[in-house]
Structure 1
Amino acid sequence: MATITLKDGTELFYKDWGPKDAQPVVFHHGWPLSADDWDAQMLFFLSKGFRVIAHDRRGHGRSTQTDAGNDMDTYVSDVIELTDKLDLKNAVHIGHSTGGGEAARYAARAKPGRVAKVVLAGAVPPIMVKSDKNPGGTPMAVFDGFRTALAANRAQFFMDVASGPFYGFNRPDAKVIPATVQNWWRQGMMGGAKAHYDCIKAFSETDFTEDLQKIEVPTLVMHGEDDQVVPIADAALLAIKLLKKGELKTYKGYPHGMLTIHADVLNPDILAFILG
């Protein structure tokens, strides 16, 4: 098991597969999951000759269940420490949901030569929560509801999210995949309740507007048009306007968890973007 001890003592778990001299593809997972959520992508890109890296964010998965530092700036500082340790250069950074915010902020702050391209899939930027500046956002009451449900019964809350809106399994014509729901629940319950509670604020209230504007490399924005968790109108359709070298690709009927249940479609699209 590979880990790095961060400057504050946190143990960060990560996977690092493939030739060390190959181009790195770095994956940033969503809340409240772990590096395991990228299984379908890591195996695919490994088979294409890439070096693939994915970490468990602090407080998530097999990393330390931190009670502090569960905010976006610290998450990105952790990624900087990891990429420095592994000396990753010319890397493609792919982020889903909360991980999309992490990837965007990292790309905006990374040292020259570290990042070649960025992929933001079902990502939270520019900002999720509704405000006067973001009238189309999700009301704070929704995120307060997340916190209440998590504190009351985290196990049930996670089961409800995975079996419902995350994969669109609550749609009338949906083909429910029980093992996918169980795997989401398993990943979530591996992490720490305090970190998961704090991360709701991190993914909903962090403003990534300036980060998107600072990214200099080609960036692919991918989003499901039926995303019930991060609605496309207040995410991808706004983010693309802020990027200098952005490309938008949307998917009719696809849910938030499209990278898992539609990996056969999305993986080739990401590969084409990397090679293009």
Structure 2
Amino acid sequence: MTSMMQNFIKTEDGIEIFYKDWGSGQPIVFHHGWPLSSDDWDAQLLYFLSKGYRVIAHDRRGHGRSTQVSDDHDIAHYAADVAALAAKLDLRDAIHIGHSTGGGEAAAYVARHGAGRVAKLVMVGAVPPIMLRTPSNPGGLPIEVFDGFRAQLATNRSQFYLDVASGPFYGFNRADAKVSTGMIQNWWRQGMMGGAKAHYDGIKAFSETDFTEDLKKIDVPTLVMHGDDDQIVPIDNSARLALKLLKNGALKIYEGYPHGMLTTHADVINPDLLAFIEG
């Protein structure tokens, strides 16, 4: 029987990062969103495994099964953790696919650590260039939005996560939505597995990090995918702006799709991902 410890790497600062590594072939690395875990990629992991790819997904520090450390919940550490994983597994010619906060993490990894290891990048409903409203980003969301997230998390994290999953994340608050109790429960389950401190600090990481210089450095083919009914990361202040900063980017817009479209519309998104990877 193989040891479960083989499913963890230890970073330089002593954090244990849990990961899944299934199959063989060209590696695809999946970067999950806040406050979830590698489990959020189930539909993609199984799909690409069946297509002959090696699929790798990790739980970000403080999330899922990784160490619930107190500090260092920021994009620099997130990207460095991915670099440690890529080095441990000797990943080369890899495709990196990131959703939401994971899209920022993936972009930062590719820009800062990915030289010689990365073939392509995909950002789905991703936070770059920057979510927060600033003088240089007047279309961003005001700090009060993110302060509200922090207050709800600190007051009643369980209810907050239930509200997000049953409402805007999957678009289940729309009149014509086909609500899935299983998706809601799975989102809540993943969220509650992680550490409250990591998630609290992660709000600052995903909202205030400016990825402008990272995006400018990326030269691998990059696909930006976004639903135009994304209520979590509005498309006009993210995907459309990110595209202008990428040297080799393409934007694919999904009419009416929500932030969680990788789960709600996996039947559409997965073949589009495959087409980009094989193109």
- In structure 2, the CA distance between the partners of 1:262 and 1:111, relative to structure 1 (3 Å rule), is closer
Matched, 1:229 2:227: no
TM-score, normalized by length of structure 2? 0.97
Matched, 1:3 2:46: no
Q: Deviations over 1:133-173 (max 9, x none)?
A: 11110110000000000000000000000000000000111
Contact conserved, 2:80 with 2:113, CA < 8 A, in 1? no
Q: How do 1:123-272 residues align onto structure 2 when only pairs under 5 Å count?
A: 123-272=126-275
What is the deviation of 1:110? 2.3
Q: 2:49 — aligned with what?
A: 46
Supply the distance in 2 between the matched residues of 1:189 and 1:16 (Cα, whole angstroms).
23
Supply the distance in 2 between the matched residues of 1:275 and 1:10 (Cα, whole angstroms).
35
Decide which of 14, 17, 21 is 1:16's aligned counterpart.
21
Supply the distance in 1 between the matched residues of 2:238 and 2:115 (Cα, whole angstroms).
27
Matched, 1:70 2:79: no
Q: How do 1:93-104 residues align onto structure 2 when only pairs under 5 Å count?
A: 93-104=96-107
What is the deviation of 1:132? 1.2
- Stretches of structure 2 that go unaligned for 5 or more consecutive residues are none
Q: Deviations over 1:7-30 (max 9, x none)?
A: 1111100000002xx100000000
Aligned partner of residue 226 in structure 2, secondary structure: strand
RMSD of aligned C-alpha atoms? 0.6
Amino acid at match of 1:78: D
Question: Alignment identity in percent?
Answer: 72
Supply the distance in 2 between the matched residues of 1:252 and 1:10 (Cα, whole angstroms).
40
Amino acid at match of 2:254: Y
What is the deviation of 1:111? 4.2
TM-score, normalized by length of structure 1? 0.98
- Stretches of structure 1 that go unaligned for 5 or more consecutive residues are none
Amino acid at match of 2:260: G
What is the deviation of 1:6? 1.1
Q: Deviations over 1:221-250 (max 9, x none)?
A: 000000000000000000001000001000
Amino acid at match of 2:232: V
Amino acid at match of 2:180: I
Amino acid at match of 2:50: S
